[in-house]
Chains A and B, each alone.
Chain A
Amino acid sequence: MSMGGAFRAVIVFLIFILLHYTLRPLLGWRAPMDFLLLGLLMAAVRVRPGNAALIGFALGLVSDSLAPEALGAGALAMTAVGFSASYLKAVFFADNIVLNAFFFFLGKWMFDVIYFLVAQSVHGAELVQQIFLWSPLSAAVTAAVGVLLLFIMRPLLEPSTA
């Protein structure tokens, strides 16, 4: 990746983080989109799995710091998702909208499953409802928003042809 491409990727990554702490609480949906995870997935396909794991760990700690009861759960989930996304990018990632959406959906759902299992903040039927109802809904919203943002930010994400 060129320096310009890396710089643009960093800009996009910061935009996702900014959206996570502004647009998401402003909307306040019951099944919210996860801009941090979108940023992680966008970064993960551009770096090695080890670096993706590091980025995921850092983002996880950032999100956990606002929920101290689950400190470490987000970091663990994001590390796993980042490494997996970077490792499997050759399999899943392509210039296909459906594949990209499925990639986002799967990443968000995987994150939620790991997070709620490790955090142990919900139990029993509530955990099942969270994993099989709200998490898929949130993953679907995240995937839709991710695809939309991919279209919007394509000029920033495409490598220069010069």
Chain B
Amino acid sequence: MARAVRSNPRTDLIILVTCLVLALAARALPDAMRDPVSTTMRRTFLAPLVVLQERAELSRRAMLLVDEKTANTDTLTLKALRVTAVEAENDRLRQIMGLGARLRWGFIPAEALHGRGVRDETTVILSAGGRSGVNRLSPIIAPEGLVGVVDGVDPTMSHAMLWTHPDFRVSAMSIDGTAFGIAQSHLASATGGYLIELRGVPFRATLKPGALIVSSGWGGVWPRGIPVGTVMQEIKTAEAWARTYLLRPAVNPADVYSVMILRRERVSKGLDGVWASVAQADSAAQRIVVAGDSAAKASALAEAAARRAALAPLGPTGDSARAAASRVPRPAPRVLTDTGAPAPVPVTQPPVPEPEPRDTTVTRDSISVAPRRPR
């Protein structure tokens, strides 16, 4: 290092003493005068240095907090992902609670434990068993509708066959009782998801897409009125003497986690009113359609009557027989009286015939009672 030449020590001493005195004077300043001095320096020629220091401290703080912020962001992301699942579970539990409130008694709540194999959604293990009152062939339901049936009971748990099982059958009908059939899983949809077939529907009964299909109650295993699915379309099968419909299931087997197992005494008492809202909505829709048809028919009858009145002075004609035939009372849809709405034209109607008995080949739930396979 270069060395400076030391000279005139007296001047140096004077400067030193002056600086020391000024420093001591600054130190002795009262607060009221000290703050303005330092503030003035910070706001003038020291401002760039203050800004530099501030940014450096902010950078250091950011570096120190980067791990914490990353962890917080990860936590928030995870929580946000869980919110959707929690909301779905919450809705599901509300539906379960609503179903329990409608059932009131005679059911056993249980959790369904799924196997995790590929397309292994045909059986589940239920968390309730014989000690809770579960019996073999006890129906299993969910808020949406039919789930399956218990096919094996242990003291603390039970084994259930879902509707997707190839051996599962349930007698089903349309909500207005005009079409009956046997519902079973649609095994042909290997890649199209789980669907249901409604087989053995008589040819005279046609179902429109969207029609609700419920259990008929025949056979004694399933009570009447549990939603099975909705009609999607008619499909062609080898059964030339009956129709087969494809149904969209009311319950997705992959979403079955909380279910209700019905006790025998509850099955025998029926489930009237449990799914009334769904059934009533579907029934009301059909009533509206039928009421429209009735109005058209009544209008046609009135027009024919007027035409006959105009032709009466001309004497009987060849159309008399047809006119007389047109006066034969026609069966009016029963639903007109159910709705309470006034009929467009009062027409005396014979009592509506009860639905015909089902074909004996399909009248009972044909749940396979084959011996249980060892698991």
Contacts and interface: CB of A to CB of B under 8 A. Distances in A.
Interface of A: 1, 5, 17-18, 21-28, 45-51, 53-54, 56-57, 60-62, 64-66, 68, 70-73, 75-76, 79-80, 83, 86-87, 89-90, 93-95, 118, 157, 159
B37 A95 contact: no
Given A57-B23, A68-B35, A21 B49 contact: yes
Nearest to A70: B27
9 contacts: A28-B60, A46-B4, A51-B15, A54-B15, A64-B26, A65-B46, A66-B46, A75-B19, A79-B19
Contacts of B50: 21, 66
B23 A60 contact: yes
B53 A22 contact: yes
A53 B12 contact: yes
Contacts of A93: 1, 3
A8 B8 CA distance: 26
B63 to A, nearest CB: 8
List the 6 shortest-distance A-B pairs measured between CB atoms, nearest first: A72-B27, A72-B26, A50-B12, A50-B15, A76-B23, A68-B38
A28 B57 CA distance: 8
A49 B12 contact: yes
A157 to B, nearest CB: 7
Interface in B1-21: 1-9, 11-16, 19-20
Most A Cβ at <10 Å: residue of B19, B52, B53:
B19
B25 A65 contact: no
A21 B2 CA distance: 27
A48 B23 contact: no
Contacts of B60: 25-28
A26 B52 CA distance: 10
Given A5-B2, A25-B57, A48 B12 contact: yes
B26 A71 contact: yes
Nearest to A120: B27
A67 B50 CA distance: 12
Contacts of A18: 52
B49 A157 contact: no
B28 interface: yes
B64 to A, nearest CB: 8
B59 interface: yes
B20 A80 contact: yes
A161 to B, nearest CB: 12
B35 to A, nearest CB: 6
A49 B16 contact: yes
Contacts of A48: 4-8, 12
How many of chain B's residues touch chain A, expressed as a range?
35 or more
B4 A1 contact: yes
Contacts of B5: 48
B15 to A, nearest CB: 4
A71 B4 contact: no
A141 B55 CA distance: 23
A121 to B, nearest CB: 12
A18 B49 CA distance: 8
Interface string B58-79: 0110000000000000000000
B41 interface: yes
B4 A159 contact: no
Nearest to A5: B2
Contact of B28 (A28, A54, A72, A159): A72
A23 B59 CA distance: 11
B46 A62 contact: yes
B42 interface: yes
Given A25-B57, A50-B11, A56 B19 contact: yes
Given A25-B53, A66-B42, A157-B1, A79 B20 contact: yes
A26 B4 contact: no
B21 to A, nearest CB: 10
Nearest to A159: B2
B29 interface: yes
B6 A65 contact: no
Contacts of A24: 56
Contacts of A49: 6, 9, 12, 15-16
A15 to B, nearest CB: 13
Interface in B177-191: none
Nearest to A45: B1
Contacts of A73: 23, 27
B65 to A, nearest CB: 13
B34 interface: yes
A53 B3 contact: no
A49 to B, nearest CB: 4
A42 B321 CA distance: 131
B26 A21 contact: no
A72 B23 contact: yes
Contacts of B24: 72, 76
A70 B38 CA distance: 10
B22 interface: yes
